[in-house]
Every structure is written in structure tokens, then in C-alpha cells.
């Protein structure tokens, strides 16, 4: 989501006539987009922000924009006081404060006024940074902003606000502009992406939206994330199974394999329901890959409750499990009402146990790809190899003299490991 938000700022700046600079010291405008999902992310954001102070001191004309979840959706006075060298504060997904600041600043220059008008006209057209045109294979489009679910541990609803689906026309327009700039794969984003449209009367469903996006020439692959077990429905599963451009990969976090912990998290489903859903997904979409998120060390999580999570993952054998150690977030229900009583050491022990289990599972799953032929969409060159993905979102590296960027090619898999595979062009 943050990558997508940053791309929107970048697009707004391109419209205003700015160009991307890889060197911070040479930039006229510096945007720091931030995440606070866990304490570690927040600390990193503060670290980066502090490191920008000498840049501003040496070049007072530089514009510093602090964006994202560190700022949140409320007027953030303490932050403004603490970081007076920040020129613009903006909420997640919202480039407009920066755009308005830059337009104001340059109002006296006729040329800039002209670009401001251009921006107003072209708003909604997603411009990639100029060097990325024809090079950037993957694009991200947020379709639902914010979240109204309020899992007890999660800060997102507070920092990103209530759920707001975007109009389908806007999404389609962005997809068309990405396709015209060479993007081949689009991932639709939302905290509960399957709820797309449900907050607005008359909006299409996510499945309908995927159907419309499927018709765009140039877009070869579509993905969406993140799903929530309560909102994944048969219409969507049918759409993944039937539409050739919608890839067989589902990101559906369960967070815990213990019913009491799930209840304390207010996730809204039981372990049994999650198990059944995984079976339903696998039955409807043969060869599907399934990813999940797990939090270890939620307040009060006992050894036995953790073991239930371990056992469930051992049984379900999911393709990817994003692991997190519980991090208490100020203002969330679990921070206010529960004690963060699992020690840091114990959280690490549980984290490593799942990491080890998952590595074993994924090795086995990947080994089934050996000597098969898969269609790979190539994204970029990393060192001397082309990096691409299978429809199931697995990383594959291939050596070739050809420039493979943006191409979909059949690849014979000749080596598999837990994190990637190697193959040869057929």
C-alpha cells in the first residue's frame, strides 16, 4: 500500500514537471512515506526523519514532505511541533497537501502555474517516473482506502481512517494509463480487498471489477490483496478460477490458529472456518497458492495456544506465511485493555519455530515444481539473472542473453529452494 501511495505522489510530481532523483542530496522535494504497523517500523521512520534535518539545514529551500501512517488522518500538532523543519504533512494515500504547497510556492511563476493547470486536468492519470516507462512491469492500484474492521491489535483504522472504496471509473482509468506505459501486471490493494464496493451503493463487486480490468489490452496479469476470511466469497473464487488473467494466488491471513486468541483479536472467524475456507479455495482453484499472516505472542498467548497455531500451519501447508511478533500500538484495543505479557525472547522462540516449520513446508511445495514448465512474467534484471514470477507468485530466476523485461515466457524449472527457483527458457 505504501509503494502504491508513493507512486501516486511521484505521479503528481511528474504532472507538475518534477523528475525523479535517485540522490536525496540533489532533490528539491523529499517525500518520506512512513509505516507504523509495528514499533520497529515507527522507529525506522523517526530515524529517517531525523536524518533529513541536516539536509534541510544545509539547503533551506528544499521541501520536506512527511507522509503516511506516522502522520495519520488527524491534524498532528505534536508532530508539527517536534519536526518544525518538515514543510508539508500528509495523510496516507493523499498527495494533495504537497501538490497544493508546491503550487502556492510557485504561484508567481507563470510556467509553474501552467503545470498546475496541467496537473488539474490530468489528475487521475497515473504517470510513472519517466525512466520507469516501459521498464516497470508491476503496478499497484489501491481500490479500498482505510479499514473499518478494527482487529484489536491493529493501528491501520486509526491512521488510515474508515473504509472508502474508490469509484471503478477512477481505477479503470489508472489501469489504462499504467497499461499504456508498459505495465503488464496490476495488483489491486485494500486492507480487506474483497470488501471492495460494499461500502458504497451501486459499486461493482471486486469480481466485477476484475472482469472489467481483464479486458484492458496490455494488462496480462491481475492480483489482489489482502483478503479476509469473512469476505472471501464464491463469486470471487469463481472469478479467479475462470478469468485467465486473474492469477491463482490468494493472500488470506489467519493471524492465529487458536480460537481464543482469534476471539481476543476480534478477527471474526474460528480456526475451523479458516480450515474449511482453505479447502474450499483449493477445491475451486486447482494449483492455487495461499499466503497468510501470523502474529506470535499476542497478549496472553499461552504455550498451548501457540502450539495450536503451529499445528494448524503444519496441517494446512500454506505457500507463504508472513510472520510478525506482536507489537503493542498506542491507542489500539489490545494496547488499552490487555497486557503485552509474552516476553520478547519468547516471541522470538515462537517466531523461529514457525519460520523453521514454514521453510520445510515451502521446500516441499517448491520441489513439486521441479522439471515442470511454468509461464513466467519477467520484472527486472538482478545481477546477471532475469527475475520473474509464476502465476502462483513464486520467484524464478533465469539466465538469458535476451532482454526479458515485460515478457511472459515458458520456463523449465531446474532447481528449487525455499525462497526461489532457477529455470531455463524453453
Is 222 in contact with 249 (CB distance < 8 Å)? no
Residue whose cell numbers read 523528475: 19
- Residue 230 per-residue DSSP state: T
Does 293 participate in binding ligand SAH (rule CB under 6 A)?
yes
Nearest distance, CB of residue 113 and ligand SAH, angstroms? 41
Q: Which of 184, 195, 329, 389 binds ligand SAH (CB under 6 A)?
A: 329
Angstrom distance (rounded) from CA 274 to CA 101: 47
Q: Which of 89, 153, 224, 386 binds ligand SAH (CB under 6 A)?
A: 153
Residue whose cell numbers read 484495543: 333
Residues 51-90 that bind ligand SAH (CB under 6 A): none
Q: Which of 37, 41, 216, 408 binds ligand SAH (CB under 6 A)?
A: 37
Q: Which of 36, 64, 116, 154 binds ligand SAH (CB under 6 A)?
A: 154
Nearest distance, CB of residue 272 and ligand SAH, angstroms? 19
Q: Which of 187, 327, 392, 393 binds ligand SAH (CB under 6 A)?
A: 327
Going by DSSP bridges, is the β-strand pair 395-398/289-296 parallel, antiparallel, or unpaired? unpaired
In the complex with ligand SAH, which residue's Cβ is closer, 123 or 293?
Answer: 293
Nearest distance, CB of residue 152 and ligand SAH, angstroms? 9
Does 350 participate in binding ligand SAH (rule CB under 6 A)?
no
Angstrom distance (rounded) from CA 248 to CA 390: 10
Angstrom distance (rounded) from CA 9 to CA 377: 27
- Residue 24 per-residue DSSP state: G
Q: Residue 378 corresponds to which cell in the numbers above?
A: 519477467
Does 262 participate in binding ligand SAH (rule CB under 6 A)?
no
The contact mask relative to ligand SAH for 209-248 (x = CB under 6 A, - = no) is -----------------x----------------------
Angstrom distance (rounded) from CA 411 to CA 157: 42
Does 416 participate in binding ligand SAH (rule CB under 6 A)?
no
Q: Which of 10, 90, 177, 191 binds ligand SAH (CB under 6 A)?
A: 191
> Residue 186's CB: how many other CB atoms inside 10 A?
25
Does 168 participate in binding ligand SAH (rule CB under 6 A)?
no
In the complex with ligand SAH, which residue's Cβ is closer, 115 or 233?
Answer: 233
In the complex with ligand SAH, which residue's Cβ is closer, 125 or 293?
Answer: 293
In the complex with ligand SAH, which residue's Cβ is closer, 83 or 145?
Answer: 145
Does 297 participate in binding ligand SAH (rule CB under 6 A)?
no
| Peptide bond just before 384 cis, omega within 30 deg | no
Q: Which of 8, 38, 195, 387 binds ligand SAH (CB under 6 A)?
A: 38
Sorted by sequence, the CB contacts under 8 Å of residue 40 that are 6+ apart come out as: 327
> Residue 405's CB: how many other CB atoms inside 10 A?
19
How many of the chain's residues bind ligand SAH (CB under 6 A)?
A: 15
Does 347 participate in binding ligand SAH (rule CB under 6 A)?
no
Does 95 participate in binding ligand SAH (rule CB under 6 A)?
no
Closest CA to 188 of 238, 204, 242, 11: 204
Does 145 participate in binding ligand SAH (rule CB under 6 A)?
no
Angstrom distance (rounded) from CA 256 to CA 25: 44
Beta bridge partners of residue 356, listed in sequence order:
none
Does 255 participate in binding ligand SAH (rule CB under 6 A)?
yes
Angstrom distance (rounded) from CA 391 to CA 150: 32
Phi-psi region of 324 (alpha: psi -120 to 50; beta: other; left: phi over 0): beta
Q: List residues binding ligand SAH (CB under 6 A).
A: 37-38, 153-154, 156, 191, 226, 253, 255, 293, 295, 324, 326-327, 329
Amino acid at each position: 500500500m505504501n509503494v502504491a501511495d508513493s507512486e501516486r505522489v511521484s505521479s503528481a510530481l511528474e504532472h507538475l514537471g518534477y523528475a525523479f532523483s535517485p540522490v536525496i542530496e540533489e532533490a528539491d522535494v523529499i517525500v518520506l512515506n512512513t509505516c507504523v504497523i509495528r514499533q520497529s517500523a515507527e522507529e525506522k521512520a523517526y530515524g529517517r526523519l531525523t536524518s533529513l534535518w541536516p539536509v534541510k539545514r544545509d539547503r533551506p529551500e528544499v521541501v520536506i514532505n512527511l507522509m503516511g501512517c506516522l502522520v495519520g488522518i488527524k491534524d498532528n500538532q505534536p508532530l508539527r511541533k517536534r519536526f518544525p523543519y518538515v514543510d508539508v504533512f500528509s495523510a496516507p494515500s493523499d498527495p494533495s497537501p504537497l501538490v497544493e504547497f508546491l503550487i502556492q510556492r510557485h504561484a508567481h511563476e507563470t510556467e509553474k502555474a501552467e503545470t498546475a493547470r496541467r496537473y488539474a486536468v490530468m489528475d487521475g492519470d497515473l504517470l510513472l517516473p519517466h525512466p520507469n516507462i516501459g521498464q516497470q512491469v508491476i503496478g499497484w492500484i489501491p481500490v479500498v482506502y482505510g479499514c473499518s474492521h478494527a482487529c484489536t491489535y491493529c493501528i491501520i483504522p486509526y491512521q488510515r481512517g474508515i473504509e472508502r472504496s474508490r469509484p471503478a471509473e477512477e481505477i479503470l482509468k489508472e489501469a489504462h494509463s499504467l497499461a499504456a506505459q508498459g505495465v503488464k501486471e496490476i495488483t489491486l490493494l485494500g486492507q480487506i480487498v474483497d470488501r471492495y464496493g460494499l461500502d458504497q451503493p451501486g459499486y461493482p463487486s471486486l469480481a466485477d471489477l476484475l472482469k472489467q480490468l481483464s479486458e484492458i489490452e496490455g494488462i496480462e496479469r491481475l492480483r489482489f490483496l489482502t483478503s479476509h476470511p469473512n469476505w472471501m466469497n464464491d463469486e470471487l473464487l469463481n472469478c479467479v478460477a475462470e478469468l485467465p488473467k486473474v492469477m491463482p494466488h490468494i493472500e488470506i491471513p489467519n493471524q492465529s490458529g487458536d480460537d481464543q486468541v482469534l476471539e481476543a483479536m476480534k478477527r471474526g472467524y474460528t480456526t475451523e472456518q479458516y480450515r474449511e475456507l482453505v479447502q474450499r479455495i483449493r477445491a475451486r482453484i486447482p494449483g492455487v497458492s495461499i499466503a497468510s499472516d501470523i502474529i506470535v505472542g499476542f497478549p496472553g498467548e499461552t504455550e498451548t495456544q501457540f502450539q495450536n497455531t503451529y499445528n494448524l500451519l503444519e496441517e494446512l501447508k500454506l505457500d507463504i506465511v508472513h510472520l510478525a511478533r506482536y507489537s503493542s500500538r498506542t491507542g489500539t484495543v489490545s494496547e488499552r485493555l490487555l497486557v503485552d505479557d509474552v516476553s520478547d525472547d519468547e516471541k522470538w522462540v515462537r517466531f523461529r519455530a514457525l519460520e523453521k516449520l514454514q521453510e520445510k513446508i515451502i521446500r516441499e511445495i517448491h520441489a513439486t515444481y521441479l522439471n515442470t514448465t511454468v509461464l513466467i512474467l519477467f520484472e527486472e534484471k538482478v545481477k546477471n539473472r532475469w527475475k520473474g514470477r509464476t502465476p502462483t507468485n513464486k520467484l524464478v530466476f533465469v539466465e538469458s542473453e535476451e532482454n526479458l523485461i515485460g515478457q511472459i515466457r515458458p520456463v523449465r524449472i531446474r532447481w528449487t529452494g525455499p525462497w526461489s527457483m532457477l529455470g531455463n527458457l524453453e
